């Protein structure tokens, strides 16, 4: 096993760097800060693949003029509790937070708000958006479709993105429950890490280009695909596939974006889809007012009880017992706020390359 070398940066350094990179492309000041905030949230929460590790992709797409740095976001259709938003081909990191606000504003008036967004781009971590809902005492949902990487159960090719679902529930004394999960069995980042380390991957993560299960991470990259959550028919792979479709339809078909295998790539190096069936990619946000259902204080007391009850579950042998969803990310954030964010050297080198091209200092 090869140990992975890292260099640690304070979150302020990374946030400042990202903000200035976005400003470099002419984003309005508030939008640049907003986009950097979404990336910083990923880096703080330990979701390393979705933080500044992605800045190079955004940088390249902005450099090529493939993303609009000054989008005018538009509501194209609405009812009291639903809306469709056109993201004007802006950064998802800018469009997403604005569309999420629309959903939350509607929820405060109508009890709930549901927004499908088309003509947008990758929005960072889904968890960011549901944390924002918590700040307003709402139950938030966030989903997005993304570039194809995942095969349907019984398929032999990439047809769906990793299509995440996030939802969060507040408590009173306990920290909130924050669920943020891709609908595939394992993250693509884990495949890349296994390759870097020269390790095999577990059965159930992916298939090779002929559609057979593989434990060689190179096979996934070379024309293979990730498997949906559940992995195979016996263990419920049709369920993960169904969830992937759910996210795709709500995010992209409802909003008039590209869906399934036609979802445009996130990075310049990725394959351009065979057809265009809409505009950009799609997100879906929801917000529910807790006191639209139950007294909010009573709900939170029950959630305290809920969380404590689940923490007290009898542990499986060799474990410390079940976690509460959101625990690992919150703990990572506590550590990283103090000690900084460790970046692997290839990511540091990418950021340095951006620094050289733009003249923006990295530290």
Cβ neighbors of 170 (< 8 A, separation 6 or more) are 134, 137, 139, 176, 290, 299, 300, 303
Token couple for 200: 């095999």
Contact between 342 and a second copy per CB under 8 A? no
Please name the residue that has the structure tokens 């976001």: 73
Contact between 264 and a second copy per CB under 8 A? no
Radius of gyration of the chain (CA): 20
Token couple for 334: 């506590």
Q: What is the DSSP letter of 262?
A: G
| Of residues 20 and 148, the one with the C-beta less far from a second copy | 148
Contact between 64 and a second copy per CB under 8 A? no
| Of residues 13 and 49, the one with the C-beta less far from a second copy | 49
Residues in 147-176 that interact with a second copy by CB under 8 A: 151-157, 159, 167, 169
Contact between 292 and a second copy per CB under 8 A? yes
Contact between 223 and a second copy per CB under 8 A? no
Contact between 261 and a second copy per CB under 8 A? yes
d(CA 116, CA 106): 13
| Of residues 29 and 212, the one with the C-beta less far from a second copy | 212
Site string for a second copy, 189-208 (x = CB under 8 A): -------------x-xx-x-
Stretch that binds a second copy, among 15-23, 29-37, 49-57, 294-302 (CB under 8 A): 294-302
| Of residues 55 and 250, the one with the C-beta less far from a second copy | 250
Contact between 303 and a second copy per CB under 8 A? yes
Its sign, for the CA torsion 127, 279, 22, 32, is negative
Contact between 239 and a second copy per CB under 8 A? yes
- Report which of 159, 162, 156, 152 is spatially closest to residue 212, judged by C-alpha positions: 156
d(CA 12, CA 31): 17
**Coil, strand, or helix at residue 355?**
helix
Among 196, 197, 235, 357, which residue interacts with a second copy (rule: CB under 8 A)? 235
Please name the residue that has the structure tokens 């669920």: 179
Among 78, 89, 98, 358, which residue interacts with a second copy (rule: CB under 8 A)? 78
Contact between 241 and a second copy per CB under 8 A? yes
| Of residues 328 and 361, the one with the C-beta less far from a second copy | 328
Q: What is the DSSP letter of 180?
A: E
Angle at 130 between CA 129 and CA 132, to 5 degrees: 65
Please name the residue that has the structure tokens 């204080």: 297
Strand ranges (DSSP E) for 46-107? Answer: 74-79, 82-86
Contact between 134 and a second copy per CB under 8 A? no
How many other C-beta atoms lie within 10 A of the C-beta of residue 37? 17
| Of residues 35 and 104, the one with the C-beta less far from a second copy | 104
Stretch that binds a second copy, among 2-10, 128-136, 192-200, 302-310 (CB under 8 A): 302-310
| Of residues 121 and 263, the one with the C-beta less far from a second copy | 263
Contact between 46 and a second copy per CB under 8 A? no
Bridge partners for 281 per DSSP:
120
Among 6, 73, 193, 249, which residue interacts with a second copy (rule: CB under 8 A)? 249
Contact between 14 and a second copy per CB under 8 A? no
Token couple for 305: 């009880």
Contact between 110 and a second copy per CB under 8 A? yes
| Of residues 7 and 136, the one with the C-beta less far from a second copy | 136
């Amino acid at each position: 096993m090869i140990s992975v070398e890292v260099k640690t940066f304070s979150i302020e350094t990374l946030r400042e760097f990202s903000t200035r990179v976005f400003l470099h492309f002419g984003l309005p000041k508030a939008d640049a800060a907003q986009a950097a905030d979404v990336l910083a949230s990923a880096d703080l929460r330990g979701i390393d693949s979705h933080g500044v590790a992605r800045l190079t992709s955004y940088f390249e797409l902005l450099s090529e003029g493939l993303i609009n740095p000054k989008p005018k976001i538009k509501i194209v259709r609405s009812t009291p509790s639903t809306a469709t938003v056109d993201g004007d081909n802006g950064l998802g990191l800018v469009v997403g937070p604005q569309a999420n606000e629309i959903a939350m504003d509607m929820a405060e008036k109508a009890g709930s708000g549901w927004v499908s967004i088309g003509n947008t781009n990758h929005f960072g971590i889904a968890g960011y958006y549901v944390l924002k809902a918590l700040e307003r005492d709402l139950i938030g949902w966030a989903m997005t479709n993304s570039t194809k990487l995942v095969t349907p159960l019984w398929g032999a090719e990439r047809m769906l993105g990793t299509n995440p679902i996030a939802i969060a529930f507040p408590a009173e004394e306990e920290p909130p429950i924050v669920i943020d999960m891709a609908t595939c069995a394992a993250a693509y980042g884990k495949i890349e890490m296994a390759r870097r380390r020269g390790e095999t991957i577990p059965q159930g993560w992916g298939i090779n280009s002929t559609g057979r299960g593989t434990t060689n991470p190179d096979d996934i990259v070379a024309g293979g695909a990730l498997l949906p959550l559940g992995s195979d028919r016996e263990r419920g792979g049709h369920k993960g596939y169904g969830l992937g479709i759910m996210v795709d339809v709500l995010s992209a078909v409802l909003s008039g974006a590209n869906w399934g295998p036609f979802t445009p790539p996130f990075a310049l190096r990725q394959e351009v889809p065979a057809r265009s069936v809409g505009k950009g990619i799609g997100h879906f946000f929801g917000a529910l007012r807790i006191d639209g259902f139950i007294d909010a204080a009573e709900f939170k007391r029950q959630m305290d009880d809920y969380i404590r009850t689940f923490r007290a579950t009898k542990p499986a042998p060799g474990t410390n017992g079940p976690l509460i969803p959101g625990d690992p990310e919150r703990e990572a954030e506590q550590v990283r706020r103090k000690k900084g964010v460790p970046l692997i050297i290839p990511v540091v080198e990418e950021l340095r390359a951006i620094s050289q091209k733009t003249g923006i200092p990295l530290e």
